[in-house]
Amino acid sequence: MVADSLTRKYDKIFKLYDSNRNGYIEKADVNRMKSQYLMAFDVPPTSEKGLAAAERWDAFWAALTSSLDHDQDRQVSREEFLSGFGALALGDPGAFDAVLRPLIETAFTLMDTDGSGSVSVKEFRRFQHAVGNGDQADAVIARIDQDGDGVISLDELVQDAREFLTSTEPDSSGNWLLG
């Protein structure tokens, strides 16, 4: 049973993904999200980085929809999303790693604009600014940076996303995921 606070959180994610607000997440939504996502990181879609990110993004969506779209009509209804996403985030840790971790890795690679293998405060601020979270960037980074070395590692980012998607605390820091 998924807690009410988590259901509200997943509902927020659903509404964000259902960008044309027809009550389903379908291919059109996914493509629009993909463009916005690349734009947020200021990555040209035809660049090598852009193409690699788009490929992983498509793979993520294929995995997500195949695990959520129970009636196989190639769109994910709100009910399918709320029940399925909870199972993904809270159930078998292998499912989280298989479906959600690759997306976080993609985001991490895009955020790390200088390719240093970690995300600096400056890099994170830039991304948060692009998704409209600019004023919260510094507070968020302080929470994600668990070891306090001033940069975000991939593990720290994955850990934060996992906490956000499984914690019933209303104020966990993973809002960077939502913009």
Residues engaged in binding Ca ion (CB under 5 A): 18, 20, 22, 24, 29, 112, 114, 116, 145, 147, 149
- CB closer to Ca ion out of 80 and 145: 145
- Locate 66 and state its tokens: 């195949």
In whole angstroms, what is the distance from residue 96 CA to residue 16 CA? 20
* Cβ proximity of 50 and 43 under 8 Å: yes
In whole angstroms, the minimum distance from the beta carbon of 94 to Ca ion comes to 26
In whole angstroms, the minimum distance from the beta carbon of 25 to Ca ion comes to 6
Residue nearest Ca ion by beta-carbon distance: 116
In whole angstroms, the minimum distance from the beta carbon of 149 to Ca ion comes to 4
In whole angstroms, what is the distance from residue 11 CA to residue 26 CA? 16
In whole angstroms, the minimum distance from the beta carbon of 123 to Ca ion comes to 5
DSSP 3-state percent helix, strand, coil across the chain (nearest 5): 65, 5, 30
- CB closer to Ca ion out of 20 and 136: 20
Length of the chain: 179
- CB closer to Ca ion out of 16 and 90: 16
Other C-beta atoms lying within 10 Å of the C-beta of residue 170: 8
Closest CA relative to residue 125, chosen from 148, 150, 101, 105: 150
- CB closer to Ca ion out of 146 and 170: 146
